[in-house]
Amino acid sequence: MPRKVKSGLIQMSLPMTEGEGSIKEIMKAMTDKHIPYIEEAGKQGVQILCLQEIFNTPYFCPGQDKEWYASAETVPGPTTEMMQEYAKKYQMVIIVPIYEKEQAGVFYNTAAVIDADGTYLGKYRKNHIPHTTGFWEKFFFKPGNLGYPVFQTKYAKVGVYICYDRHFPDGARILGLNGAEIVYNPSATVEGLSQYLWKLEQPAHAAANGYFMGCINRVGEEKPWDLGRFYGTSYFVDPRGQIFAEASEDKDELLVAEFDLDMIDEVRSTWQFFRDRRPETYDKLTEL
């Protein structure tokens, strides 16, 4: 029997920005803008849905304004609890990337994973945190401390690898070894800097590890930061490294695709990368 899964990715532009409302109003506007797309995913029978990196705020990391600490919340917390209701309503797994506050002064770039019955399964915290012009993320986020968890959902074993993580093959491999069948990469990245890598790195991870990936990027420009244009182009890639569904560069969009998880067995029976790996020769990776 084929193990077919229907998955969805939502890419979204910012409806309200700094100076146009309070932080809470901006967050509410972004959340409200997502709701019809989440509802549409449910109506289309999407079984696993993933949103973009810190989905309900701007990408505020080009600046270093501590006022944005106020946009962080506990996970689980109010936003995840709201998403649990939609997950239960539509029997849909939802991956919710959000700015997490663990305690005063301790923040993470996090993705909550909610199962199809509304159960909160756990979270992934972004492990690799950049800190350079335009991406002052260490001002806002601590590096993750939960490793590379894989979540057994109703429909598939799911992993998450957030934005800058994608530049590091090591965690992508661990997700595969931990049993991931689909890895989602919610991101916020702009044209020029890393666009040429967008369709290079994740297909390479998918092929090297024999799993599916869903890669999400936001769209539009976000003032007052003027980092550049978020170029969307969210896509799905299969275990052969072939992109088989792709969204636009500039439109708010729900991308939906159906695929057969049995392809993982087929591909791994041909390319025995997990069998042939030599971890005993990789000690320098942790020594250097």
Please determine, for residue 113, whether its predicted confidence score (pLDDT) is greater than 90: yes
pLDDT tens digit sequence for 152-181: 999 999 999 999 999 999 999 999 999 999
Structural domain span for residue 57 = 4-275
pLDDT over 90 percentage in the chain: 96
Helix axes 201-209, 169-177, angle to 10 degrees: 30
Query: Does residue 283 sit within a domain?
Result: no
Query: Does residue 280 sit within a domain?
Result: no
pLDDT at 192 (0 to 100): 86
How is 172-202 classified by DSSP, letter by letter?
HHHHHHTT-SEEEEEE--BTTTSHHHHTTHH
**Closest by alpha carbon to 125, among 103, 145, 102, 151?**
145
Classify residue 243 as exposed, middle or buried by CB count within 10 Å of its CB (0-12, 13-18, 19+): middle
Once rounded to an integer, what is the mean pLDDT over residues 88-111? 99
Once rounded to an integer, what is the mean pLDDT over residues 128-142? 97
Please determine, for residue 17, whether its predicted confidence score (pLDDT) is greater than 90: no
Q: Do 93 and 7 touch, CB atoms closer than 8 A?
A: no
| Distance from C-alpha of 220 to C-alpha of 12, rounded to nearest angstrom | 8
Global confidence as pTM: 0.97
Mean residue pLDDT across the chain:
97
Largest interatomic CA distance in the chain: 56
Query: Does residue 281 sit within a domain?
Result: no
pLDDT at 193 (0 to 100): 80
Query: Does residue 287 sit within a domain?
Result: no
**Distances from the Cα of 70 to the Cα of 64, 73, 74, 115, 207, angstroms:** 13, 8, 11, 28, 40
Alpha helices in the chain, H assignment, sequence order: 23-43, 78-90, 169-177, 195-198, 201-209, 262-270, 273-276, 284-287
SS3 at position 56: coil
Query: Does residue 284 sit within a domain?
Result: no
Please determine, for residue 1, whether its predicted confidence score (pLDDT) is greater than 70: no
Query: Does residue 40 sit within a domain?
Result: yes
Q: Do 49 and 8 touch, CB atoms closer than 8 A?
A: yes
| Strands 48-50, 93-103: pairing kind | parallel
Q: Do 135 and 62 touch, CB atoms closer than 8 A?
A: yes
Which phi and psi angles does 268 have, rounded to 5°?
Answer: -70, -20
pLDDT at 18 (0 to 100): 86
Query: Does residue 95 sit within a domain?
Result: yes
**Closest by alpha carbon to 120, among 155, 80, 163, 162?**
80
Please determine, for residue 32, whether its predicted confidence score (pLDDT) is greater than 70: yes
> Model confidence at 135, in pLDDT bands (50, 70, 90)?
very high
pLDDT at 53 (0 to 100): 99
| Distance from C-alpha of 163 to C-alpha of 216, rounded to nearest angstrom | 9
**Distances from the Cα of 243 to the Cα of 36, 235, 237, 252, angstroms:** 26, 7, 4, 20
Name the residues annotated as catalytic: 53, 126, 163
pLDDT over 70 percentage in the chain: 100
Query: Does residue 99 sit within a domain?
Result: yes
pLDDT at 288 (0 to 100): 85
pLDDT tens digit sequence for 219-262: 999 999 989 999 999 999 999 999 999 999 999 999 999 999 99
pLDDT tens digit sequence for 48-67: 999 999 999 999 999 999 99
The domain tally of the chain equals 1
Please determine, for residue 43, whether its predicted confidence score (pLDDT) is greater than 90: yes
CATH of the domain at 261: 3.60.110.10
